[in-house]
Amino acid sequence: GENVEQHPSTLSVQEGDSAVIKCTYSDSASNYFPWYKQELGKGSQLIIDIRSNVGEKKDQRIAVTLNKTAKHFSLHITETQPEDSAVYFCAAKGSSGSARQLTFGSGTQLTVLP
Amino acid sequence: DGGITQSPKYLFRKEGQNVTLSCEQNLNHDAMYWYRQDPGQGLRLIYYSQIVNDFQKGDIAEGYSVSREKKESFPLTVTSAQKNPTAFYLCASISQGYGNTEAFFGQGTRLTVV
């Protein structure tokens, strides 16, 4: 089955700096890679996703890059703000059979220091 | 509005009791998932269902049971056999198509055993 590893587990940055979270996956058939933000007391929210036919996607201060050859993808947050503080999860989803389930990374606790 | 709804938001259970967590979606998604999150840890898959009347065990299914009698609903029962049920539970639904892939989470249920 799919295995997703996420690093780092905790990340602290100064307000205004950039934050990068990296994930690797094992199943080359995976074709969908979403990122979720989970704030304390709330459910997880999809913030950006990327499909395997695209190398990079950007939405305002958030961007995701995908390297299919190396089987890794990264979340980039620029100009970080205190409200960006949360737990971020990456995930990978296969395209067929048992690989269709969504496999999550272990999460990264991002803290933006004022 | 389309979405995924979990209820209740907070749930207290006495030791030895079974309790059922509700998850309903009106997104017409085929696949639904239950995850457990413990403090300082990532998401762990309990059960998932890719189609009505079918479901599969995830990584930590022991002490849990599910049903998928209709597409919109995927309730999770935490049985008395679950030794450490206090946790935050998240339900997700995902479209199964090979084109656009959507994944949404509910707001979560925090279960506490008293």
Provide the pLDDT for residue A97. Answer: 55
Q: Give CA–CA dist A16/A95, Å, rounded.
A: 38
Closest CA of chain B from A108, distance in Å: 8
SS3 content of chain B, % helix, strand, coil (to 5): 0, 50, 50
Provide the pLDDT for residue B64. Answer: 97
List of chain A residues whose C-beta atoms are within 8 Å of the C-beta of residue B3: none
- A59 Cβ partners below 8 Å, 6+ apart? A47, A48
Provide the pLDDT for residue B18. Answer: 94
A102 interfaces chain B, CB cutoff of 8 Å: yes
Q: Give CA–CA dist A73/B27, Å, rounded.
A: 27
State pLDDT tens for residues A50-96: 988 889 999 999 999 999 999 999 999 999 999 999 989 999 987 65
Report the candidate in A19, A14, A2 with the shortest Cα–Cα distance to residue A62. Answer: A19
Residue A21 phi/psi, 5-degree rounding, is -120, 135
Provide the pLDDT for residue B43. Answer: 81
State pLDDT tens for residues A10-60: 899 999 999 999 999 998 888 889 999 987 666 678 899 998 888 999 999
- A112 Cβ partners below 8 Å, 6+ apart? A12, A13, A14, A15, A19, A80, A81, A82, A83, A84, A85
Contact yes or no for A90/A35 (Cβ under 8 A)? yes
State pLDDT tens for residues B22-50: 999 998 888 899 999 887 777 888 999 98
Q: What kind and span of H or E run contains A13?
A: strand A10-14
Closest CA of chain B from A92, distance in Å: 11
Give the range among A7-21, B43-57, B68-82 with minimum mean pLDDT.
B43-57
List of chain A residues whose C-beta atoms are within 8 Å of the C-beta of residue B94: 93, 102
